[in-house]
Amino acid sequence: MAEVASGEVLRPAILTDLNALVELENSCFASDRLSRRSLRHYLQASSAELVVVEEKGNLLAYGLLLLRRGTLLTRLYSLAVAKSARGQGLAEKVIAELEQRASQRGKRYMRLEVAEHNHGAIRLYRRLGFLPFAVTAHYYEDDATAIRMQKALPLNTTGKRLRECPWYQQSTAFTCGPASLMMAMAMVEPGLPMTQTEELSIWRTANTVYMTSGPAGTHPLGLAMAAVERGFDAKVYLSHEGPLFIDGVRNEHKRQTLIAVENDFFEQAEAQQLPVFYTDWFATLDQEANASDRALLCLISTYRLDRSKAPHWVVVTGTDELCVYIHDPDPDTDTAGSGMLDYQHIPVARDDFQRMASYGKRRVQAAIVLRRPQPDLMYGDFDLAV
């Protein structure tokens, strides 16, 4: 708890603030309002920081910060100042408090969205060190465009502008691979349609019949061959030869089926002369992720995100000296107001990403790199690996 001015106190919000928070929300915003249910959720959520400015029992301002497990990212989700208290610097003080709380929880980046016509707020955020990095059209209920801004908190980093990569939400629990492949293809070829029909078509080509539990996921070789069928060059990095996904499969019938399917993928890849490199792909991470003519998708374990230990495909949208940025096609739809932008260009510390980007007891690693064919190039790194 801190006194920000004579009689004004900046403190964490508590459940008894709910009615005043709802009243402040409704008085400040004509649309895109947080509901009473959402505010109650955030008051109790471990993944949120909600602070208020109070004076003599009256709530003058609040700020809401959302945090995501396994990443360095926080998001300034909502900020409101009562009309009677504006012009006193309360917004700046609330943001400073949230930045301190984010840093204390090990976060290094804060993001926000602001309507492009809200020039006053944009000036404030720029003065506080936020820089624009993307634009999202039709974001608000009134169809206004959102300017997306980011600030590095205690660490200095370059104002990296990330490559454009359209985001697609997987439509089933088992199609993260096809969803990521479509995003990667659209990254190389802007404007490429991404549809559920295409998503399921890729899954039928690349699925493994079984996984450790639940419906079949998709095999890296199957995804790469699906990309080749669609006119892309592809190469695959693998850490292991032979079946990749048999760890933890106790049912012998499922285990033998998985082995047969995976062996077939390897035979097809060899017959098609698909370049497969059995090497540590992290050595080429920056080169592959930041090259303007290619796109990178990779397998991760979801343990560091939600403790589920599932294999999961994501797209790498760029790297810098501190972070690897990813698009995750599987948002947490059970979290109230989670926001799809929280799953785009997610910054993950490089060391955390390297631990995340392996799966199972054998620490299986897999990555796929795509590009459009280059007929003038006789030989290159997309040729058959030996």
Mean pLDDT of all residues in 336-365: 80
Residue 10 in any domain: the answer is yes
Mean pLDDT of all residues in 96-102: 93
The residue that leads in pLDDT, 329 or 161, is: 329
Is the pLDDT confidence value at 16 over 60?
Answer: yes
317 shares a domain with 255 = yes
Looking at residue 112, which CATH number applies to its domain? 3.40.630.30
Mean pLDDT of all residues in 248-271: 86
Is the pLDDT confidence value at 156 over 60?
Answer: no
Is the pLDDT confidence value at 184 over 90?
Answer: yes
Mean pLDDT of all residues in 47-62: 94
Is the pLDDT confidence value at 154 over 70?
Answer: no
For residue range 78-87, list pLDDT tens digits in order: 999 999 999 9
237 shares a domain with 128 = no
Of 103, 118, 152, the position where a domain reaches its end is 152
269 shares a domain with 197 = yes
For residue 181, the model assigns a pLDDT of 98
Residue 292 in any domain: the answer is yes
pLDDT band at 336 (very low <50, low <70, confident <90, very high): very low
Element (H, E) at 370: strand 366-371
pLDDT band at 249 (very low <50, low <70, confident <90, very high): confident
- β-partners of residue 348 are 324
363 shares a domain with 255 = yes
Residue 381 in any domain: the answer is no
Q: How far apart are the first and last CA of the chain?
A: 63
Looking at residue 335, which CATH number applies to its domain? 3.90.70.10
Question: Cβ neighbours of residue 210 under 8 Å, at least 6 residues apart?
Answer: 216, 249, 254, 257, 258, 261
Amino acid at 118: N
For residue 307, the model assigns a pLDDT of 64
211 shares a domain with 142 = no
146 shares a domain with 189 = no
For residue 335, the model assigns a pLDDT of 40
Of 137, 152, 167, the position where a domain reaches its end is 152
Helices assigned H by DSSP within the chain: 18-28, 36-44, 90-104, 119-127, 176-188, 196-206, 220-229, 252-271, 285-290, 303-306, 350-356
* Euclidean distance between CA atoms 276 and 354, whole angstroms: 20
Cα-based torsion angle of the residue sequence 252, 258, 264, 268 in order, rounded to the nearest 10 degrees: -170
Mean pLDDT of all residues in 356-381: 83
Is the pLDDT confidence value at 375 over 90?
Answer: no
53 shares a domain with 88 = yes
For residue 37, the model assigns a pLDDT of 96
Is the pLDDT confidence value at 2 over 90?
Answer: no
Is the pLDDT confidence value at 384 over 70?
Answer: no
Residue 157 in any domain: the answer is no
Mean pLDDT of all residues in 320-332: 87
If one counts the domains in the chain, the total is 2
Of 90, 117, 152, the position where a domain reaches its end is 152
323 shares a domain with 196 = yes
Provide the residue range defining the domain that includes 238: 176-371
Q: What is the pTM of this model?
A: 0.69
181 shares a domain with 146 = no
